[in-house]
């Protein structure tokens, strides 16, 4: 197969490109705009593979998509490209709509016109909104997104549904919980806390820190996406999750512990507006239909992740010395949204 991966220079996308090159015989064309979150260093080594090709471009560029899909004889699309950070969507929602909603719509149209045979939409559990202390998200849970990011992903997710229902276009949607692992951009909880701890900086915990996330090691997510691509039913939605709920504060303490740092670095800061309290996934559908189950347990995955950030300090130091620094100052510096103590 010739597979078009969009957003393959980001965190999950780059892990997925590696997964495809390592586990399949397929050709991979990676289309990525290289926004602040896209980084070709995430793909070091892949360029030497004759089955891999990188194209810098925008999923909103219809002409580019048209010629690329045709020129590369694309059989399948795995769609990761998105603005992905909730806090940024609070600061500026517009690009979330143009990239995540309009970009997905244009990609769907062009993929359909090119008669692409499979299209996997990498959606998120955040489309379901927030859970109380009980229960799990199933594929039948109502969509109730709470952040501009989640709302834009829900719109994209539903456009996929509509392209299947209206045009019979073979879209498969995955809705996964929080991922962690190598190459995650250091604005997200786990890499941010690791990097700050290593630099002796405060660890900004939002609100009371008792929000719960269901963490999945990134490679387990990639395997689920690939199974959905090859064996999933067109029109189906598959929840993907680790069955691994952690409270943010417990997770931060765990990280500090493993890094040999003390809890005094923990700083409670103002909560994220609209902050979802708890996510938890019921993954029984993908388990029953596609035989997927997570393989990396949390302690082992976290140890592997910490080791990667320790061994690849130059990777995240470079990022943190660039554009991201301005964002960090804006969010966490004096006068920033998370700049003061909670309360
Ligand atoms: P990321 O922010 O690390 O990467 C996004 C990539 O998309 C970047 O390489 C960026 O350059 C690219 N991109 C952005 N706008 C583009 C455009 N207009 N055209 C082409 N490329 C563009 O994100 P991630 O954490 O790897 O997430 C990837 C996907 O998985 C997203 O769709 C996200 O919603 C979804 N997802 C993420 C998680 C998670 O925990 N990170 C969980 C479930 C689902
Ligand atoms: P994040 O990694 O942004 O993922 P998401 O919001 O998509 O779940 O955040 C994970 C959790 O960690 C979320 O409850 C917000 C919290 N958080 C903090 O407490 N402090 C931080 O600096 C960040 C970035 C996140």
126 is catalytic: yes
Report which ligand 2 atom has the smallest distance to the Cα of 147.
Answer: 6
Residue 323 Cα to ligand 2 midpoint, Å, equals 20
87 is catalytic: no
Q: Which of 45-59, 66-80, 93-107, 324-338 comes out lowest in average pLDDT?
A: 324-338
- Are the CB atoms for 255 and 194 separated by under 8 Å? yes
Tokens, residue 136: 């799990």
CB atoms within 10 A of CB 215: 23
- Are the CB atoms for 224 and 286 separated by under 8 Å? yes
Q: For 232-247, what is the mean pLDDT?
A: 97
What integer best gives the mean pLDDT of the chain? Answer: 96
Residue 32 Cα to ligand 1 midpoint, Å, equals 10
CB-based pocket (< 6 A), ligand 1: 6-7, 9-13, 32-35, 37-38, 58-60, 80-84, 99, 103, 122, 124, 153, 176, 178-179, 185
> Is a pLDDT exceeding 90 seen at residue 323?
no
Q: For 45-61, what is the mean pLDDT?
A: 97
> Is a pLDDT exceeding 90 seen at residue 326?
no
pLDDT bracket for residue 239 (50, 70, 90) = very high
Tokens, residue 122: 């990498």
pLDDT digits (tens, 9 = 90+) for 66-86: 999 999 999 999 999 999 999
Report which ligand 1 atom has the smallest distance to the Cα of 81.
Answer: 7
Ligand 2, atom 21, residue with closest C-alpha? 189
Write down the pLDDT at residue 170. Answer: 98
| Candidate from 82, 192, 251 with most ligand 1 atoms within 8 A of CB, to mutate | 82
Write down the pLDDT at residue 329. Answer: 82
What percentage of the chain has pLDDT greater than the value 70?
99
| Candidate from 80, 190, 279 with most ligand 1 atoms within 8 A of CB, to mutate | 80
Choose among 92, 85, 77, 86: nearest CA to 122.
77
- By DSSP bridging, strand 2-6 and strand 179-180 are unpaired
Write down the pLDDT at residue 316. Answer: 97
pLDDT bracket for residue 327 (50, 70, 90) = confident
Indicate the pTM of the whole model.
0.97
149 is catalytic: yes
Which of these is catalytic: 126, 214, 219, 226? 126
Residue 188 Cα to ligand 2 midpoint, Å, equals 6
What percentage of the chain has pLDDT greater than the value 90?
93
pLDDT digits (tens, 9 = 90+) for 125-174: 999 999 999 999 999 999 999 999 999 999 999 999 999 999 999 999 99
pLDDT bracket for residue 340 (50, 70, 90) = low
pLDDT digits (tens, 9 = 90+) for 9-50: 999 999 999 999 999 999 999 999 999 999 999 999 999 999
Which of these is catalytic: 72, 125, 214, 219? 125
Considering only the top CATH level, what class is 2-180+216-243+280-296+324-341?
A: alpha beta
Rounded Cα gap, residues 32 and 84, in angstroms: 14
pLDDT bracket for residue 242 (50, 70, 90) = confident
Question: Which ligand has the nearest atom to the CA of 191?
Answer: 2
Tokens, residue 227: 């199974």
pLDDT digits (tens, 9 = 90+) for 254-286: 999 999 999 999 999 999 999 999 999 999 999
Sequence ranges of the domains in the chain: 2-180+216-243+280-296+324-341
> Is a pLDDT exceeding 80 seen at residue 65?
yes
> Is a pLDDT exceeding 70 seen at residue 341?
no
Our measurement of the distance from residue 214's CA atom to the centroid of its chain's CA atoms, rounded to an integer in Å, reads: 13
Question: Which ligand has the nearest atom to the CA of 188?
Answer: 2
pLDDT bracket for residue 343 (50, 70, 90) = very low
146 Rama class: left (phi>0) / alpha (psi -120 to 50) / beta: alpha
CB atoms within 10 A of CB 265: 18
Which of these is catalytic: 19, 52, 149, 217? 149
């Amino acid at each position: 197969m010739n597979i078009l991966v969009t957003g393959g220079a980001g965190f999950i996308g780059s892990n997925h490109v590696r997964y495809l090159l390592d586990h399949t015989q397929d050709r991979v064309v990676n289309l990525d705009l290289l926004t602040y979150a896209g980084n070709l260093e995430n793909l070091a080594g892949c360029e030497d593979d004759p089955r891999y090709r990188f194209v810098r471009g925008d999923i909103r560029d219809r002409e580019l998509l048209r010629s690329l899909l045709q020129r590369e004889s694309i059989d399948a699309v795995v769609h990761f490209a998105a603005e992905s950070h909730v806090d940024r969507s609070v600061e500026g929602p517009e690009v979330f709509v143009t990239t995540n909603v309009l970009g997905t719509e244009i990609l769907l149209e062009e993929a359909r016109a090119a008669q692409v045979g499979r299209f996997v939409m990498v959606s998120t559990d955040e489309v379901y909104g927030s859970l109380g202390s009980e229960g799990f998200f199933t594929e039948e849970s109502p969509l109730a997104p709470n952040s501009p990011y989640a709302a834009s992903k829900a719109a994209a997710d539903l456009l996929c549904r509509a392209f299947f229902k209206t045009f019979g276009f073979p879209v498969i949607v995955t809705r996964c919980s929080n991922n962690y692992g190598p190459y995650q951009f250091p604005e997200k909880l786990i890499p941010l806390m690791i990097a700050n701890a290593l630099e002796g900086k405060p660890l900004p915990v939002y609100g009371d820190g008792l929000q719960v996330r269901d963490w999945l090691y990134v490679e387990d997510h990639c395997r689920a996406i690939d199974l959905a691509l090859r064996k999933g039913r067109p029109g189906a939605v598959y929840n993907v999750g680790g069955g691994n709920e952690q409270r943010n504060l417990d997770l931060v303490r765990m990280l500090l512990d493993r890094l040999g740092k003390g809890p005094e670095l923990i700083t409670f800061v103002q909560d994220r507006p609209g902050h979802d309290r708890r996510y938890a996934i019921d993954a029984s559908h993908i388990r029953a239909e596609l035989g997927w189950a997570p393989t990396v347990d949390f302690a082992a995955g976290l140890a592997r992740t910490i080791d990667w950030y320790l061994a690849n300090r130059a990777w995240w130091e470079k990022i943190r010395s660039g554009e991201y620094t301005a964002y960090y100052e804006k969010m966490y510096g004096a006068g920033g949204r998370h700049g003061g103590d909670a309360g």
